[in-house]
């Protein structure tokens, strides 16, 4: 169960905007229902989930780890979830190694040194099939694998999730007959949680059936998702142009990276939108806390709390006191604070929470009067790169 709490001042703000709240709600829900890009709200074929589990079992027979190549919406979701369910200090029995987000030569050298003595499989994700960083890493790792494995072995070890009919990666699939999956045209990259792009790497570490079940249960939070979106827009109108996602567990930080992309790419257009940031408390109370408490009043905060009431140890009690005290202190300093409470951090409830945020990011974008499902600004840096490169694959339309 997810519970959403506003501080008193936000509640008063919403009550003052009662008429506007309901008028805009009707318009937003209608836009949402008529969008051509909400394939992420449609049911998942259980046979597809079973096929992912079967492929996972095959991969585990011949590999010691899975290397996932992707960037942005192609990897942030599964990476965030895998980190949430990982151990703080111990490697899991079957590691998932996420690469492709840096162009560092040193990083690539160390990656190959790590993989040199391991049998591994490669999972590559790009909806367009032309994403520059993803394709570069794919090419480098494929050449590395060709020195270790025969073509027959490569066909067992390289798996690609991309566009159904076009793009560089689709050409690779057609040429080498690699195992492949596709991301439906009506699902954008950052909304692709329930496609093989994320569910396949997740199948190695969580119960994907439970995750998908919880994900669709998230539909029941449509009213709360709109309320949160409306609240954010009203705070923006008051000059609160930054949202600080506050977590108290280091394993939650990758989840906030997923949130940051979800909201920034969805609503950050036409000189509009809220800039998302994140902090880890209590660590950042000793660095950024002063600014939050008494600095430029341009931000509001959204806190995450997992119910640990069953734990009775000293640290759990202290953590609860710190959590409540921080919200009290920041509210007293004039910071608007939202609170999201999760009754249990498991696959089902995490699925609920992520669907809630995807709905809310969509509603928020409509309130800002922008398209939630495009990202035209991302193309600007890519077009600049085109002027200085001769990569044939990149001179096609990219993500």
Which residues are designated catalytic? 265, 286, 382
- Which value, in Å, is the radius of gyration of the alpha carbons in the chain? 22
How does DSSP classify residue 33? H
What does each C-alpha distance from 224 to 6, 166, 227, 231, 340 come to in angstroms?
A: 11, 39, 5, 10, 11
- DSSP secondary structure, 136-198, as one string: HHHHHHHHHHHTTS-HHHHHHHEEEEE-SS-SHHHHHHHHH--EEEE--TTS-GGG-TTSHHH
User: Which residues have CB under 8 Å from 54's CB, separation 6+?
Assistant: none
251/253 Cα distance (integer angstroms) = 6
Phi/psi-derived region of residue 129, left when phi > 0, alpha when psi is between -120 and 50, beta in every other case: left
H or E segment to which residue 52 belongs? helix 46-62
Q: How many CB atoms lie within 10 A of CB 296?
A: 8
Number of other CB atoms surrounding residue 90 within 10 Å: 7
Q: Which structure tokens are listed for 104?
A: 């560092």
Q: Do 191 and 73 form a contact (C-beta atoms < 8 A)?
A: yes
As to burial, measured by CB atoms within 10 angstroms (0-12 exposed, 13-18 middle, 19+ buried), residue 275 is middle
Bridge partners (DSSP) of residue 306 are: 342
């Amino acid at each position: 169960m997810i519970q959403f709490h506003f501080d008193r001042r936000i509640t008063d703000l919403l009550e003052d905007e009662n008429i506007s709240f309901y008028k805009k709600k009707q318009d937003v829900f209608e836009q949402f229902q008529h969008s051509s890009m909400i394939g992420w709200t449609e049911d998942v074929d259980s046979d597809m989930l079973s096929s992912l589990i079967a492929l996972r079992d095959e991969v585990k027979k011949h590999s010691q780890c899975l290397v996932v190549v992707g960037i942005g919406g192609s990897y942030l979701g599964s990476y965030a979830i895998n980190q949430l369910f990982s151990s703080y200090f111990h490697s899991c029995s079957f590691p998932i190694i996420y690469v492709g987000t840096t162009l560092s030569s040193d990083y690539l050298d160390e990656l190959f040194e790590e993989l040199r003595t391991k049998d591994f499989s490669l999972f590559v994700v790009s909806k367009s099939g032309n994403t520059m960083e993803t394709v570069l890493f794919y090419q480098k790792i494929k050449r590395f694998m060709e020195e270790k494995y025969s073509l027959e072995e490569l066909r067992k070890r390289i798996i690609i999730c991309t566009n159904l009919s076009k793009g560089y990666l689709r050409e690779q699939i057609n040429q080498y007959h690699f195992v492949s999956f596709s991301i439906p045209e009506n699902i954008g990259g950052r909304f692709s949680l329930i496609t093989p792009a994320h569910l396949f790497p997740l199948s190695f570490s969580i119960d994907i059936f439970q995750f998908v079940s919880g994900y669709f249960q998230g539909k029941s939070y449509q009213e709360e998702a709109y309320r949160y979106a409306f609240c954010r827009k009203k705070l923006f109108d008051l000059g609160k142009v930054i949202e600080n996602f506050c977590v108290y567990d280091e394993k939650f930080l990758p989840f906030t990276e997923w949130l940051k992309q979800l909201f920034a790419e969805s609503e950050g257009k036409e000189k509009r939108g809220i800039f998302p940031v994140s902090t880890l408390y209590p660590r950042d109370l000793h660095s950024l806390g002063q600014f939050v408490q008494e600095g430029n009043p341009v931000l509001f905060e959204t806190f995450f709390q997992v119910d640990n009431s069953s734990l009775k140890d000293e640290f759990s009690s202290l953590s609860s006191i710190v959590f409540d005290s921080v919200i009290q202190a920041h509210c007293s300093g004039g910071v608007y604070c939202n609170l999201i409470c999760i009754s249990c951090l498991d696959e089902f409830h995490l699925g609920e929470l992520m669907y809630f945020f995807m709905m809310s990011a969509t509603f928020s974008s409509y309130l800002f009067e922008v398209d939630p499902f495009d990202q035209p600004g991302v193309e600007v840096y890519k077009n600049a790169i085109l002027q200085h490169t001769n990569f044939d694959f990149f001179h096609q339309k990219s993500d």
